[in-house]
Amino acid sequence: MKHPLLHALPILTSWLLLGGSAKAQLAVQNNLTPNELVNSILVGQGVTVSNVTFNGQPASTINDQIGSFNGISSNLGLMDGVVLATGQVPLVVGPNMNPSLTVPPALPVNIADPDLAYFVSMQRCVAVLEFDFIPTGDSLSFRFVFGSEEYPEYVCSQFNDVFGFFLSGPGINGPYTNNAVNLGVLPGTQVPVAINTVNSGSPGILGGGAYVCAASDPNWQANSAYYVANTGGATVELDGFTAALRARAAVRCGQVYHIKIAIAHAGDASLDSAVFIEGGSFSSTGSLAVSVTTPLNDGTLTEGCGEAMVTVQRPSAEGIADIQLTYDGAGITADDLDGNLAQVTIPDGSLNVTFPINAVRDPGAEGDELLTIHATWISACGATLTDSVPLAIMDYTPMEIMADDLYLECGTDSVLLEAYVHGGLGAALLDWGNAGAGDPVFVPGLTNATYTVTATDQCPEAISMEVRVISGCDITIPNVITPNADGLNDAWVINGLYKIGSSVNVFNRWGNLVYESANYANNWRGAGLPDGTYFYEVVDGRSGQRLTGSLTILGDGTN
């Protein structure tokens, strides 16, 4: 394929000098051999590697088409790993200042790879990383991103740069060399990841019609969900790349497999492309996973408050698996736990087993402790697999309800009852019982009452307390007044009497009515009456309560 865009090498030289500047957030290193890159960066758990080669040669020499990257501060979607490119690997470092970058490798290989030839016959700047590996589990997976300067101009063109992950070995039956299959496909499909299958959903200005992309995948436009348009991107040079995808394959533990990671220019040697593979993700699921679910889903278990559920999972449901369990942590003893099994068995046909564990409540506070649960299993391949999970053990702080009695001045129709809870586990539910469920709650303010509030936390524990509402509406009638104009006790003041509708009658000792009032205003001074003892009848205007008693008037004898 011929690209009409021009590529100025003097400009690229300046770009390469800037590529390592502080402005670039994607870091690339080209200081390790392919063998070192595979063994120290690419390979993760459950895989043993041998026979690493690069472009058919022993992988003991540094090559400018393969290196390591750190994408923690970039928009690449991968934290770190290994990058292969059609050009020199520093080309991937942003910012994206060149829409058609080409940085040829120092020693380009232009011999076509037979598996990439399934996609395009004329290849330039071929980069092929290969190695054997033995998995400890029944599956293989790794994460990757493919990107290119071909985006977006050459979308739906007849030729685009190509790449593939070609896996061969026991149980693998595909169309490529040694019956290999290509793992560089879209999730849940056999559609190879390529510029014409993963893009924005529109043909490029230098591409062909949409029918060209449709020939690669009839659903190509739906694949735009996997595409990242990077024009003007600050951290990566490539004009576009895929989202982070996962390659997967079923394998047989303990058997030898071969993987070939290949990328090449198609047609001419213009517009570089690269494939990134996440560090440590090239792994076999011959691993053991232990997890814990706690009552509050926060990784903590409080003493005496429910149980945590521990789950141990293996990668395959085949056969019986006896899992050994141990528990440790500073200050942790066997007496601290209930349910600390020494062994659990995953039955044939099951992937996991779950069992409960409780933290026993101690009489005294010990402070928070960290328990670690370890699981160990010897797999069918003879590999010793382990995993662990931390679990914080917390002391239980008893609950305390904080609420005050309410003392009102008569006349408040309703009042808000509120309470607060200190201690306990999680959020406490408050219930005012006879006042109605929930918190806070409104209750009458014109009558005296006692209410019980109950707090229930997520342990669950429950405590209660009583709260009094004193309305200030109790009727108190003085039995002495001293109307001597000294400003003290001059008037007959009946506290708590509801004025509207009230009635007051005062009688002398012979039963004669000497004073009466409706809607009494607390202002009678015994005017015109001699000192002595009198008798009253008071009716409250709100409750209708009738009260009687005696009243002594002690004035100056002239009233």
Query: Helix, strand, or coil here: 480?
Result: strand
Query: 38, 1, 483, 519: which is closest to 277 by C-alpha?
Result: 38
Instruction: Provide the token pair at 316.
Output: 């395959």
* Whole-angstrom distance, CA of residue 286 vs CA of residue 295: 30
Q: Check residue 396 and give its pLDDT.
A: 93
- The DSSP letter of residue 177 is G
At residue 419, the 3 state secondary structure works out as: coil
Beta strands in 23-114 (DSSP E): 27-29, 47-54, 57-58, 66-70, 80-85
Joined together, the tokens standing for residue 217 give 């995948």
Q: Please provide the DSSP assignment of 210-247 as one string.
A: HHHHHHH-TTGGGGGGGEEE-TT-SSB-SSEEEPPEEE
- Backbone φ, ψ for residue 247 (5° rounding): -90, 140
Distances (CA, A) of 367 to 358, 361, 362: 17, 12, 11
The C-alpha atoms of residue 186 and residue 195 are separated, in whole angstroms, by 12
Q: Which amino acid is at 380?
A: A
Residue the block writes with tokens 């589990």:
137
Q: Distance between CA atoms of 469 and 408, rounded to whole angstroms? A: 8
For domain 289-394, give the CATH number: 2.60.40.740
**193 contact partners, CB below 8 Å, separation of at least 6:** 146, 163, 184, 185, 186, 242, 245
Report the CATH architecture of 400-470.
Answer: Sandwich (2.60)
Q: Which of 298, 193, 318 has its CA nearest to residue 250?
A: 318
| Tokens 């440590």 belong to residue | 280
Q: Which residue has the tokens 């560090």?
A: 279
Dig out the tokens for 530 from the structure.
């001699």
Angle at Cα 184 formed by Cα 178 and Cα 186, nearest 5°? 135
Rounded to whole angstroms, how far apart are CA atoms 107 and 125?
8
How would you label 443-462 residue by residue, b for 16+ Cβ within 10 Å and e otherwise? bebbeeeebebbbbbbbebe
Sole residue written with tokens 């402790």: 369
Please tell me the predicted confidence (pLDDT) of residue 3: 54
| CATH 2.60.40.740 intervals, the chain | 289-394
pLDDT at 232: 78
Q: What is the DSSP string of 17-49?
A: HHHTSTT--SEEE--S-HHHHIIIIIB-TTEEE
Residues 440 and 416: beta-carbon distance below 8 Å:
yes
Rounded CA-CA distance 496/475 in Å is 4
The tens-digit pLDDT sequence of the chain (559 residues) is 445 433 333 333 333 333 334 344 899 999 999 999 999 999 998 899 999 999 999 999 999 999 999 999 999 999 999 999 999 999 899 999 888 899 999 999 999 999 999 999 999 999 999 999 999 888 899 999 999 999 999 999 987 999 999 999 999 999 999 999 999 999 999 999 999 999 999 999 999 899 999 999 999 999 999 999 998 788 999 999 999 999 999 898 889 999 999 999 998 999 999 999 999 999 987 678 999 999 999 999 999 999 999 999 987 777 899 999 999 988 888 788 988 899 999 999 999 999 999 999 987 777 888 999 999 998 877 778 899 999 999 999 999 999 999 998 877 889 999 999 999 999 999 999 866 666 788 999 888 899 999 999 999 999 999 999 998 888 899 999 999 989 899 999 998 888 889 999 999 999 999 999 999 999 999 988 999 999 999 998 888 889 999 999 998 644 4
> What per-residue confidence (pLDDT) applies to 379?
81
Burial class (CB in 10 A: 0-12, 13-18, 19+), 364: exposed
User: Which pLDDT value is given to residue 15?
Assistant: 37
- CA dist 528 → 176, 492, 503, 515, 549 (Å): 125, 14, 20, 10, 21
Which residue's entry shows tokens 């690419």? 42
Q: Which two tokens stand for residue 377?
A: 């299993």
Q: How many residues does the chain have?
A: 559
Q: What is the predicted pLDDT for the residue at 437?
A: 64
| Separation CA 186–CA 176 (nearest Å) | 18
How many C-beta neighbours within 10 Å does residue 342 have?
Answer: 8
Both structure tokens of 184: 């560089």
Determine the Cα–Cα distance for residues 530 and 6; give it in Å rounded to an integer: 123
Helix (H) or strand (E) holding 89: none
pLDDT confidence of residue 556: 63
Instruction: Return the CATH fold of 480-553.
Output: Immunoglobulin-like (2.60.40)
- Please provide residue 181's backbone torsions phi and psi, each rounded to the nearest 5 degrees: -115, 155
Instruction: With H, G, I as helix, E, B as strand and everything else as coil, classify residue 363.
Output: coil
> Are 514 and 472 a contacting pair, CB within 8 Å?
no
Question: Can you give the pLDDT at residue 288?
Answer: 85
As a whole number of angstroms, the distance between CA 199 and CA 204 comes to 10
**Dihedral sign computed on CA atoms, order 108, 110, 115, 116:** positive
